[in-house]
Amino acid sequence: MLAQQFVNAISLGGVYALFALGFTLIFGVLNVVNLAHGAIFMLGAYTALQAVVLLKFPLALAMGAAIFVTGAAGWLLDRLIFAPLRARQAPHLAPMIATIGVAISLNSTIQGIFGAENLRFPVHGLAAEGLQFGGVQVTGLEIQIILLALILMAVLLWWLKHTRMGCALRALAESRKASALLGIDVEGLFRMTSVIAALLGGVAGVLIALYTNAVFPQMGQPMLHKGIAVVILGGMGDIRGALLGGFFLGCAEVFSVAYIGSTMRDAVAFGLLFAILLIRPQGLFGKAAERRA
């Protein structure tokens, strides 16, 4: 049982980490707590589902459609909300509250079109089959989620460290004013970050919908709550932190079910989180002086 629960914990952690990547990126660069990230995640799942059901797309192409739509949503989000608020130097809370509005509108719209009931992807193949490794059951999809979370994190880290654009982004995260003085296209970078964060959310939505067999308008809400916890635990805006925080929360949840009891799951997992933050308020990877991205 221990080995199986460990696998359960890692794949659940992968799910949380995948969701948290986009969430933490947008915080690190734009300094916005994007509460619409759950809705974007849901949008990705619905887009891919409709592409598969209505347009008869293969799954890979449907994933492309989800990336496109959520990327566009990220672009719009920045163009219509974050950019105007930046331009007017709105206080910190304004963009966060605005994203609550975006989330509710998106959820209601999707619910209006597709109804409140659960839907699922009709495609089935290797991904959902259980594979056995020495008494431990894993699905192909779980392995994909874990690998993808790791790969995406590695790519993001590499890109931030070794490309000019990544350098610019880190500079931007450090100081917006200085970056602008250095001739960096600040607005363009902000917009690009919003797009990348959103499409990461979209990818997570599709994979997690496949993994959990459930697509519904509110699917982003519980994920958002966990995502916030993961990101705070890992250190706001830190990409390695998102991954580690995700795995930590996954382990905390799974092992509290396994050894304490499922009624106590959230109490134990979030109690632990609280305890860690008391000791390390900046999160696992956060630096006290708030250097992000």
Smallest gap from Cβ 122 to another protein, in A, equals: 7
Only one residue has tokens 């794949």, namely: 11
Smallest gap from Cβ 285 to another protein, in A, equals: 25
Q: Is 216 in the site for another protein (CB under 8 A)?
A: yes
Cα–Cα distance between 222 and 38 in angstroms, integer?
8
Phi-psi region of 119 (alpha: psi -120 to 50; beta: other; left: phi over 0): beta
Q: Is 262 in the site for another protein (CB under 8 A)?
A: yes
Cα–Cα distance between 65 and 122 in angstroms, integer?
17
Rule CB under 8 A: choose which of 10, 12, 102, 230 binds another protein.
12
**Residue 231: CA count within 13 A, CB half-sphere:** 26
Q: CB under 8 A: which stretch of 63-71, 74-82, 159-167, 214-222 binds another protein?
A: 214-222
The pair phi, psi for residue 132, each rounded to 5°, is -115, 130
Cβ atoms of 29 and 172 closer than 8 Å: yes
Contact code string over 90-129 relative to another protein, x by CB under 8 A: --------------------------xxx-x-x-x---xx
Cα–Cα distance between 9 and 229 in angstroms, integer?
16
Q: Is 218 in the site for another protein (CB under 8 A)?
A: yes
CA neighbor of 222 nearest in space, from 6, 9, 16: 16
Contact code string over 14-33 relative to another protein, x by CB under 8 A: -x------------------
Rule CB under 8 A: choose which of 254, 268, 273, 293 binds another protein.
254
Cα–Cα distance between 138 and 131 in angstroms, integer?
5
Q: Is 143 in the site for another protein (CB under 8 A)?
A: no
- Is 93 in a helix, a strand, or coil? helix
Q: Is 134 in the site for another protein (CB under 8 A)?
A: no
Rule CB under 8 A: choose which of 106, 110, 189, 208 binds another protein.
208
Rule CB under 8 A: choose which of 83, 85, 111, 139 binds another protein.
139
Q: Is 228 in the site for another protein (CB under 8 A)?
A: no
Q: Which residues pair with 139 in a beta bridge?
A: 130
Q: Is 130 in the site for another protein (CB under 8 A)?
A: yes
* Total residues binding another protein (CB under 8 A): 39
Of the pair 16, 27, the CB lying nearest another protein is at 16
The letter for the amino acid at 226 is K
CA neighbor of 257 nearest in space, from 265, 249, 247: 265
Element housing 172 (H / E): helix 164-174
Cα–Cα distance between 121 and 49 in angstroms, integer?
6
Of the pair 196, 223, the CB lying nearest another protein is at 223
Rule CB under 8 A: choose which of 229, 249, 257, 272 binds another protein.
257
215 secondary structure, DSSP code: B
Q: Where do contacts with another protein occur on this chain (CB under 8 A)?
A: 1, 4-5, 8-9, 11-12, 15, 116-118, 120, 122, 124, 128-130, 132, 137, 139, 208, 211-214, 216, 218-219, 221-222, 253-255, 257-258, 262-263, 265-266
